[in-house]
Chain A
Amino acid sequence: MKSVLGRWLAVVAVLTLVAAACGNSGGSTSSSAATSTTATPATTVATATTAATTVTTAASSTTEPVVEKVKKIAIATPEQGNDFGWNQQGIDSAKAAAAALGLQIEVADGLGYDDVRPILRELAGNGADLIIAHASGFNTAAPEIAEEFNVPVAIVDNPGAVKPGLVADYTTSPQGGAYLAGYLAAKMSRDNKLGIVVSGEPPSWNAQSAGFADGARAANSNVKLLYAVIGPAAYSDAAGANRVTSALIAAGADVIFGQGDGASFGMLEAIETNKAADGGKVLFIDVIGNKTSVAKPGYLLSSVLWDFTGAFERMVADIDAGTFGQSNYDLSLADGSIDLLKTDLIPADLWAEIQTLKQKIIDGQIKVEAVTDAGAVRARMSSVNAAKG
């Protein structure tokens, strides 16, 4: 009897612990009204389970999306929205778009990369008229939920999965901004050695690595590029990022271009605690977000900034117009959704030079190739090094 009681207590305790884990792997949702609008969501249901049943029935009886005019959007992210990077920029942009358009917004962050279908179903059931699945890891589940609930869904970096009216893709094209970053890095380097540290090789980061290399070569044909991947999907491996970045600094790099999400803080730590080969400071160029408020003064040279606000606003406008998913919702230098962060470390004349380059890219006078394949990126680095080494 005592043993049976013990087992029951154990089960209860384990369930409690699993519930506690929802702070990260299970994800959390928070809803906030971006404006004072009190419009009732297009689909109002009591629970996610009920919603699944109700809307699946609706989906089977019609081929057109049920959304006529967007009143509420939702965004789902794999990590928490406080990483000064991909997740935070996505959530901040979605909130900005909702505020600008007078929409309600629901945020589900920290979902991890496991099965996110239950959370996406909950978002759909809560009345979202557009679900932004803000991770390439959601690209399988999100289109399924779009079909199941007949609700428009936006996915990342997968143009091949587009279904006009139902599934749209937003593939960022940040290579132009990275080109400018590479140009800046090569001009600022004292030893003509630049490091590129990445915690994975997703398409958009590959595009940035290649763009950075091209920009660096355009600025200085003698520059050497040291490229290192921390590990497969090492997005939160801050210790690995510190180790690899320290190794690149020891190899002579005095400017580091880092792409890492949570791992990027490990890169920052390595930069702030190691000296370059000439005894001077190592400089850091970040991506996606702006870490000015958390970096020690004198180390953050710049960042390739991404702003999804315009893309999300266009998605809403297209749903309202019935043209959702008929074009890619790109980010680019031209509309300011990709840009380079200006800091005090950048000399004024060099910044002016970069602005001229930026305009040339926008005007099409300089073509920056979008290289998204990891092998092609590595070959690019090898060719750079072989040619110059």
Chain B
Amino acid sequence: MTDILSTVFLASLLSGGVISAVPLIYAGLGEAISERSGVLNLGLEGMMVAGAYAGFVATLNSGSIWFGLFVGGIAGLVVSLFMVGLCVYLNADQIVVGIALTLGATGVTALLHSAQYSKSYPRLPKAGVLSIPLLSKIPVVGVGLFSQHASTYLVLVLVAGAMWFFRSTRIGLNIKAAGDQPHALEAAGGNPRRTRTVAVMTAGFLAGVGGAHIALIGAGLFVPGVTNGAGDIGIVLAMLARGKLWWIVAGAGLIGVSLSLTTALQLIGLNIPIDAVQMLPFLLIIVVLFIFGRDSYLPAALCLPYDREAR
């Protein structure tokens, strides 16, 4: 079966891995920002699926992938407002609210899809790509890495920007303080609740964009549950990143490559159980957790509601 290992096939595998990884980076980055502010955002999957649906509808009606990504982000942000209201201002349990948001958004989008598109299942044209001059001509790697939709490169810029933001801006430092010492932040003149609000809304927007990316560029359509647990993986990636945002990129890339590897191993006819092959991405995560989990950094006030009168 080595005859199938053509450059076209390998490039397709690599490209598929990258397309799978990008939404995880958007979601993981959003979760990292939320967690740094002290809010464990288990509603990430719900924000993603809301973004997937809204982005799909927007692109279907406008023809613009960028508009769809933006609307997807707005939808994720809207869902995150529930998280803000319930957890940041009403001090509800972040875990319960997060799970409820995921269930709620999944149910609502399934209902909307059923009402609007279950007879037609519309699909989108293939998303256009931005080919990086010279680099995109490299065999296999060129098509796989340097001939992707521009939102792929945008997310890398966002990660770099977020690193600078946390290191060099006052609001970035405030977000970290809101997650570690919210009372100290308030004593210094900051507003922990407002800071957490900004962080959670940012997470919602990024998760929504990630979800829209899955529907618009990964699948080319929306079906109920299309995000398929990407939000949960994003949470794991943020946990593993230990505050180092580039680790999110590395982890997402690892998962993307693993997914493509599972397809490749099946097609070259290795006589090992497919179940074992398909455990690869998750096995890799567990291995990474074993190796690095002990040093994981979590904000001291993560998952704790902020009560200015409780000292």
Contact = CB atoms under 8 A, between A and B. Distances in A.
Contacts of A237: 226, 228
A236 B114 CA distance: 14
B303 to A, nearest CB: 15
Contacts of A242: 218-220
Interface stretch (B83-91, B155-163, B192-200): B83-91
B135 interface: no
Q: DSSP majority for the A interface?
A: helix
Interface stretch (B29-37, B97-105, B173-181, B284-292): B97-105
B6 A229 contact: no
Nearest to B101: A17
Name, among A9, A20, A247, A375, the residue most crowded by chain B CB atoms within 10 Å (CB to CB): A247
Interface string B20-58: 100000000000000000000000000000000000000
B269 A386 contact: yes
A23 interface: yes
B190 interface: no
A274 B10 CA distance: 15
Contacts of A18: 100, 103-104
A308 interface: no
A234 interface: yes
Contacts of B101: 17
Nearest to B270: A382
Contact of B104 (A11, A17, A236, A250): A17
B108 interface: yes
A251 B221 contact: no
B20 A247 contact: no
Interface string A239-260: 1111110111111100000000
Given A7-B91, A228-B267, A23 B123 contact: no
B225 A262 contact: yes
Contact of A238 (B13, B86, B226): B226
Contacts of B307: 3
Nearest to B85: A13
Given A10-B86, A273-B126, A239 B121 contact: no
A17 B100 contact: yes
Contacts of A26: 107
Contact of B278 (A79, A231, A266, A274): A231
A365 B180 CA distance: 75
Contacts of B104: 17-18, 20-21
B4 A226 contact: yes
Nearest to B97: A14
A237 B225 CA distance: 8
B274 A378 contact: yes
Contact of B271 (A13, A243, A294, A382): A382
Interface residues of B, number: 66
Given A17-B101, A80-B118, A239 B224 contact: no
B267 A247 contact: yes
Contacts of B259: 240, 243
A90 to B, nearest CB: 16
Interface string A264-281: 011011101110010000
Interface in B1-25: 1, 3-4, 6, 8-9, 11-13, 16, 19-20
Nearest to B222: A238
A56 B239 CA distance: 48
A241 B6 CA distance: 21
B219 A238 contact: yes
Contact of B92 (A11, A82, A251): A11
Contacts of B12: 246-247, 249-251
Contacts of B267: 226-228, 247-248, 251
A382 B266 CA distance: 10
B96 interface: yes
B223 interface: yes
A327 B86 CA distance: 55
B252 interface: no
A325 to B, nearest CB: 32
A21 B106 contact: yes
Contact of B260 (A84, A238, A247): A247
A328 interface: no
Given A17-B82, A234-B228, A266-B221, A10 B269 contact: no
B263 interface: yes
Contacts of B4: 226, 251-252
A364 interface: no
B224 A6 contact: no
A7 B27 CA distance: 28
Nearest to B118: A82
Contact of B123 (A3, A252, A265): A265
Nearest to A15: B100
A268 B123 contact: yes
Contacts of B274: 201, 229, 374, 378
A10 B91 contact: yes
Contacts of B262: 231
B120 interface: yes
A10 B97 contact: yes
**The 10 A-B residue pairs with the shortest CB-CB distance in the complex, in nearest-first order:** A10-B92, A21-B103, A239-B218, A250-B12, A82-B118, A23-B107, A17-B104, A6-B90, A21-B107, A23-B111
25 contacts: A6-B92, A7-B92, A10-B93, A13-B86, A22-B107, A24-B110, A25-B107, A80-B110, A82-B119, A227-B267, A228-B267, A231-B278, A232-B275, A234-B228, A238-B220, A239-B214, A243-B263, A244-B263, A247-B12, A248-B267, A266-B221, A270-B220, A273-B126, A293-B119, A382-B271
Given A234-B228, A243-B259, 9 more contacts: A6-B91, A10-B90, A23-B108, A247-B13, A251-B6, A252-B4, A269-B221, A385-B1, A389-B1
Interface of B: 1, 3-4, 6, 8-9, 11-13, 16, 19-20, 82, 85-86, 89-93, 96-97, 100-101, 103-104, 106-108, 110-111, 114, 118-121, 123-126, 214-215, 218-226, 228, 259-260, 262-264, 266-267, 269, 271, 273-275, 278, 307
